[in-house]
Chain A
Amino acid sequence: MTAGTAGTAVTAEAPGRDAADAAAQAAREAVFDAAVAADERIEPRDWMPEAYRASLVRQIAQHAHSEIIGMQPEANWITRAPSLRRKAILMAKVQDEAGHGLYLYSAAETLGVSRDELLDKLHSGRQKYSSIFNYPTLTWADVGAIGWLVDGAAITNQVPLCRCSYGPYARAMVRVCKEESFHQRQGYEALLALSRGTEAQHAMAQDAVDRWWWPSLMMFGPPDDVSTHSTQAMAWKIKRHSNDELRQRFVDIAAPQAEALGLTLPDPDLKWNEERGHYDFGPIDWDEFWDVLKGNGPCNDQRITQRRQAHENGAWVREAAAAYARKHTGQHGEAQA
């Protein structure tokens, strides 16, 4: 039997090859582990464990998706912004978010996935975006509260990512964090103007903070004892701090800022703990968190429907650009297929 003979021959050779492969694999893993241990950056052409690659794709894609879904709650107020100055600031911010989405999809593409694939996963619900964007912007003050709290939480999360072990992600985060800090200051300043404005404006600001505070704390993810990805992500130096550490850091920064704003945070248990050197705060409603994550938040359907519609309504435009690029090869090749 030819096949049998061939099989035997392969089997006879196999132990040697397996051993060589295993040794090569062990050597690659050792180089990778040493690079991570030495705080060196992993670059796209470097060898990396498949699980590391998959974990980064998941995280960067989710981050990119959050930027583009996150445009919606704020874009909701562009046409209604109450002064031309605020309108300009908000437009610039939403534009920056689209830009952040672009950097992050590019960073994900260095790992061997395409933006189209990732968008497809977003549209079909196979990849997630930050749970915070499933809450509605009901008043103008929400735009300020998002800037202050949501961007503030994002920055607390993202600044350590500037030192993430994967180079393209870390470099994208440096740019993203600079712009986010700017947005956060503008959000704070917008809320301050409301807080010090008329009685109605102050009430509007307080109501927005009341609605956005807890969802912002949920942005740091589940508590450490149930966070599935954290341990490995920290070992790989993708993450540098645990969810609970970052959440505490955020509360410590936000609590005195709320006071300076002249607004209260909706947590009767929030108080400075001299002994710990941190603010204590009340329990988070994790049922709500998991519910929103499962798709049952106030705006989950609306957000994903708008995103899908934008994509579907734009299909003929992308097809036109691709057809034009084919006809005029070399010109305008930047068009998206």
Chain B
Amino acid sequence: MTTTDTTGTAPAPTPAPVAAPVTDPAVTAAALALGDDALVLAQRLGEWAGSAPVLEEEVALANIALDLLGQARVLLSLAGDEDELAYLREERDFRNVQLVEQPNGDFAHTIARQLYFSTYQRLLYAALAAGDGPLTGLAAKAVKEVAYHQDHAEHWTLRLGDGTDESHRRMQTACDALWRYTGELFQPLDGLALDTTALEAAWLDSVTEILTRAGLTVPTGPRTGAWRAGAGRQGLHTEHFGRMLAEMQHLHRSHPGATW
């Protein structure tokens, strides 16, 4: 995939993802990784439509999914053609962390995934927005969105953790189950001048504070992912991912060369 492919095959997409051309391959690779994170999580959240516990959450989850999809489109466009990248890559070519491909599970699992990921995104985009790298503009916009996402996840973590016995139990189970996928978030990404050690420390502080306030126990298990930390970034995913991708790509792949 060339980094300056702006010709695409689709007729002028929406007032499109505008982003300055990026020529540094390391930056392109980082944009692809972050774009894949956002795309895959948007896809998961899209599965909630019509099944949320209250109408307000239909709106909130769709809203978050849309923000993430918007971020994905900008980031993927930095790396090439958004649709080619989303629909025509194989599972092994995706660079998202394994956390975002985990199934929705019950509402507690979705919220735990959101808490872990949106806290990471908030810290990541704040750091990128403060710098002067190629993703600064994008990060400045995204940080406002992810602050909302994190706030939403935090409030639900408190409600579920400190709600009923059942909600507490479910929330603890979810936090424990997803904990192992959180180490991967802090693998260094070439092309982004980020202090990932500081990012990880800030993330642990923030998540610990919220879980504690919610009356939950901070999990203590390994944070190595399904294989080893960093595997998702190298295209090594969990078994959930292939099915998700099959569903996402099926129609596009059935009509090669078509525009939509």
User: Residues on A close to B: CB < 8 A?
Assistant: 68, 71-72, 75, 78-89, 91-92, 94-95, 98-99, 101-102, 105, 115, 140, 190, 193-194, 197-198, 200-201, 306, 309-311, 313-324, 327-328, 332, 334-336
Contact = CB atoms under 8 A, between A and B. Distances in A.
Interface stretch (B21-29, B152-160, B221-229): B152-160
Given A71-B49, A95-B66, A314-B107, A82 B252 contact: yes
Contacts of B170: 316
B255 A82 contact: yes
Nearest to B70: A88
Contacts of A68: 55, 58
Nearest to B247: A79
Contacts of A81: 251
A324 B163 CA distance: 5
Contact of A324 (B50, B63, B83, B158): B158
B223 to A, nearest CB: 27
Given A92-B66, A95-B59, A313-B106, A85 B46 contact: no
A49 B54 CA distance: 32
A322 B54 CA distance: 12
A336 B49 contact: no
A144 B172 CA distance: 42
Contacts of A87: 46, 69
B251 A82 contact: yes
B248 A323 contact: no
A321 B258 contact: no
Interface string B56-88: 111100110110011011001000001100110
Nearest 10 A-B pairs (CB), nearest first?
A314-B53, A320-B163, A320-B167, A95-B62, A75-B49, A98-B58, A317-B53, A324-B159, A75-B50, A78-B46
User: Helix, strand, loop or mixed for chain B's interface?
Assistant: helix
A91 B164 contact: no
B250 interface: yes
A83 B259 CA distance: 8
B50 A72 contact: yes
Contacts of B248: 79-80
Contacts of A99: 59
B209 interface: no
A336 B163 CA distance: 13
Contacts of A327: 162
Nearest to A332: B155
A332 B56 CA distance: 14
A194 B70 CA distance: 24
B69 A84 contact: yes
A306 B48 CA distance: 12
Contact of A320 (B46, B72, B160): B160
A317 B51 contact: no
A314 B52 contact: yes
Chain A interface helix/strand/loop/mixed? helix
Contacts of A200: 255, 258
B132 interface: no
Interface in B203-260: 247-248, 250-252, 255, 257-260
A50 B138 CA distance: 56
A264 to B, nearest CB: 22
A141 to B, nearest CB: 10
Interface string B87-103: 10000000000000000
Contacts of B76: 84
A321 B86 CA distance: 37
A102 B13 contact: no
18 contacts: A71-B49, A75-B49, A75-B50, A79-B247, A84-B76, A84-B86, A87-B46, A91-B42, A95-B62, A102-B56, A198-B257, A200-B255, A201-B255, A316-B164, A317-B57, A317-B160, A320-B167, A323-B167
B20 interface: no
B50 A319 contact: no
B164 A98 contact: no
Nearest to B62: A95
A123 to B, nearest CB: 14
B46 A86 contact: no
Contacts of A321: 159, 163
B92 to A, nearest CB: 21
Contact of B55 (A79, A94, A102, A309): A102
Contacts of B158: 324, 332
Nearest to A140: B251
B43 interface: yes
Nearest to B14: A85
A306 B258 CA distance: 33
A130 to B, nearest CB: 15
A174 B63 CA distance: 22
Nearest to B72: A84
Contact of B50 (A71, A140, A317): A71
A240 B181 CA distance: 58
A190 B53 CA distance: 31
B251 A310 contact: no
B190 interface: no
Contacts of A89: 14
A68 B54 CA distance: 11
Nearest to A95: B62
A102 B107 contact: no
B46 A84 contact: no
